[in-house]
Structure 1
Amino acid sequence: MLVYKVSGVKASMGSGQHKFNETTGLGYHNHISYNNGTYHRERVELKLHDNNTQNKKLKVSVYYETLCPASVEFFADTLRTTMDRLSSYIDVHLVPYGHIEESTMLGRSYFKCQHGPAECFGNMIHACAINVISDKKKALKFNICLMKYGRDNRVWDFQTALHHCGRIHAVYVPEVIECFQNIRSDNLLSKYGEETYNFFNRITEAKQRYVPYVVFENYGANTTEDRTSNFLQQVCNTIVPKPNPCYHR
């Protein structure tokens, strides 16, 4: 028996005909009754009800580093096109850290990044953007823009990219730079380092500790399975009901 939500109340189907659109999650039921020799039909608007998934955004975590070629491609192409289509259906959490060697001296953190000092700079810029831009979706698009700018221009000049993407996404860049220039950026990066280490400690195979590494955090998904490959398709196959944009590629 199907269970529907009608005006905020659970209701099971009675006698009569019903139609339901799996794409939109909407439908109606023609309730038919018989009284004193006369048939009566009443149309009731319906919406599929699911306490666990209905109206939930898919939570996605992305572990990455800013100068890793695979991370750059994922941001510039895969994540960008997915957000263009499905930004209303997914909630992306960025973790800009990757394979950093972190040390502490006199209460200050020091970082050695896999792709050199420029990558540490980029990771801090991403961390600061996430921190100072109150609109989470705008922060995500801003960081995607930074990655795409570098990839498209083959120049990893984050200063130029900052102002370019700031103009496009209406971000007050001096606030991001101020964050980077003080100890706040160190603290933010250390926080992402702790999150990265805690996550990869759950991955038993050392060879699987790579970036980018993308996981789904809800909808009953395996929270350690990498979803980077065929990301858009995996998003569409996980969200219930499947979003309309998934049918029009």
Structure 2
Amino acid sequence: MFLPRGVLSAFGLAILLHAQVFADTTATVGVYYETLCPVCRGFFINQLLPAYRQAPDRITVRLVPFGKTVINSTNPYIFTCEHGETECEGLKIHSCAVSLIHDQTTLLNLTECTIRNQTDPETILTECATNLGIELKPIADCAKSTNGSQLLKLNGDKTKELNPGVKDLPTITLNGSQNDESQLRTNLWNEICKVLQPKPSTCP
């Protein structure tokens, strides 16, 4: 039996809409942080990476390295970072990595590795990039150039858009919301599970 073309089109549209309604939902996690903040370091190691690895195909992470940095001048760029000049260097390295590394898993592995030890950001970048097989030179060159400063300034603009603004670090958003932020810092995977449908089997 043949159906009229209009009926077939309507049937196809219904199937498409059904698929869209029941498609797997995703979670977007925004992380506003500093590289020498101990709590930020702990969040990367104990919350962000473990949660991401539970469902990497359904979690998008937006890293915004800036925190409570102050921009004193834009010509040239001069920053005052909460934990000193070493942190400014680390923030530029992270800003450049975010801009240059397009594979999310690779980026998160590098930022988690480097944030573990920020006493010498350039040295730890070299070690981590080498161990992870990431091309070092573009990131290092960017961080030392005006481009690194421009990227850090742009992260400052993104940080200022938060409402409410930064109070405690890291500041975490889930699908744009800062609700239950204390839970996002300490039980990120549980909070992500609340917005994923269907829930992954590893959800509590």
Hey, what's the Cα distance between the residues in 2 that align with 1:181 and 1:234?
37
Which one has a bigger Cα radius of gyration? 1
Match of 1:98 among 67, 78, 93: 67
Change (3 A) 1:97 1:131: same
Deviations 1:84-107 (A, max 9, x none): 2221220000000001111116x2
RMSD: 2.3
In 1, are the aligned partners of 2:65 and 2:94 still within 8 Å (CA)?
Answer: yes
Match of 1:192 in 2: 155
In 2, are the aligned partners of 1:130 and 1:139 still within 8 Å (CA)?
Answer: yes
Deviation, structure 1 residue 67: 0.4
Percent sequence identity is: 26
Hey, what's the Cα distance between the residues in 2 that align with 1:173 and 1:192?
22
Match of 2:39 in 1: 70
Matched position secondary structure for 2:25: coil
Change (3 A) 1:234 1:88: same
In 1, are the aligned partners of 2:25 and 2:198 still within 8 Å (CA)?
Answer: no
Deviation, structure 1 residue 160: 2.4
Normalised to the residue count of structure 2, the TM-score between the two structures is 0.84
Residue identity opposite 1:224 in structure 2 = Q
Unaligned runs of 5+ in 2: 1-10
Deviations 1:198-226 (A, max 9, x none): 11xx217xxx61110111126xxxx1322
Hey, what's the Cα distance between the residues in 2 that align with 1:81 and 1:8?
39
Q: How many residues align?
A: 190
Deviation, structure 1 residue 8: 7.8
Change (3 A) 1:240 1:169: same
Match of 2:138 among 156, 159, 175: 175
Hey, what's the Cα distance between the residues in 1 that align with 2:196 and 2:185?
16
Tell me which of the two structures has the higher relative contact order, counting C-alpha pairs closer than 8 angstroms and 6 or more residues apart: 2
Hey, what's the Cα distance between the residues in 2 that align with 1:120 and 1:210?
19
Deviant stretches of 4+, over 2 Å = 6-11, 48-51, 53-57, 244-247
Match of 1:216 in 2: 174
Residue identity opposite 1:145 in structure 2 = C
Residue identity opposite 1:157 in structure 2 = D
Matched position secondary structure for 2:178: coil
Residue identity opposite 2:168 in structure 1 = Y
Hey, what's the Cα distance between the residues in 2 that align with 1:196 and 1:74?
18
Deviation, structure 1 residue 10: 3.7
Unaligned runs of 5+ in 1: 1-5, 12-47
Matched position secondary structure for 2:157: helix
Hey, what's the Cα distance between the residues in 1 that align with 2:142 and 2:170?
25
Matched position secondary structure for 2:172: strand
> Could you say which structure has the higher strand fraction?
1
Match of 2:6 in 1: none
Match of 1:236 in 2: 193
Matched position secondary structure for 1:245: coil
Match of 2:53 in 1: 84
Where does 1:34-53 land on structure 2 (aligned, <5 Å)?
A: 49=19, 51=21
